[in-house]
Amino acid sequence: MQPIERIAQAILQAERILFITGAGLSADSGLPTYRGLGGLYNGHTAEGLPIEAALSGPMLQRDPALCWKYLAELGRACLGAQANEGHRAIAELQRLKPQCWVLTQNIDGYHRAAGSPPERLIEIHGELAPLYCRSCGQEDAELAGHLERPLPPLCRACGGVLRPPVVLFEEMLPEAAIDSLYAELRKGFDVVIAVGTSASFPYIVEPVLRTRQAGGFTAQINPTRTDLSDAVEVNLQGRALDVLPELLGHISSHRICK
């Protein structure tokens, strides 16, 4: 049986499913990945800083204009692309499987745009919009407009610096997202599929290892090998944009035949 057929069969037989998605999925929309070939940032900024320092919580406090210089690059990249057929295939699988969840490292909002239900979407690194004021908390939905004006963007109500609800370097992960992830992990998953992620964070690897140890099915969809390659049952090498719609086609045809 071909890898894609094995993954399709596992999804068809499963109730609880988790897709873990990373930058590789959105790279197929034309969005640069954070690291690696074609990465948005590699090495140091024009100021000679590691990008991790420029895009950090302490830098936003100390020099908001410098931090926002690089936040704006992320914002323009995300606004300049859109959800692709891979995102839409996952959203359709969530429609077909009411206990199908998405855990994403991506901050671009493309899963929501593609139709993934917010109540089954865990954005572990936050998202780029809406902005909110660090001083008074007021929300501001006009990210695109602010990127055309001098930075950092300021609150219309109190003049405080606006920021996105995204996790910067040296900041904690959002408590609600972590709580949601571990609540679902305690229930267990029958199938976990990692898509386009280098799996460099423990909270990305853990669902795969837990599910495999419990006897569940695990798979990876990625053009290259990653830290997860030896941990999953099935490795399917390919672009998410190509593989996920084909996977959906296999699943849909099986359902029709029944």
Catalytic site positions? 125
Residue reference for tokens 């140091």: 44
Distance CA 195, CA 201 (A): 14
Residue reference for tokens 């099986």: 254
List % helix, strand, coil for the chain (3-state, nearest 5). 45, 15, 40
Distance CA 194, CA 192 (A): 7
Burial of 86 (0-12, 13-18, 19+ CB in 10 A): buried
The first and second tokens of residue 194, run together, are 């990692």
Nearest in space to 35 (alpha carbons), one of 128, 126, 105, 112: 105
Helix (H) or strand (E) holding 135: none
The first and second tokens of residue 241, run together, are 């944009």
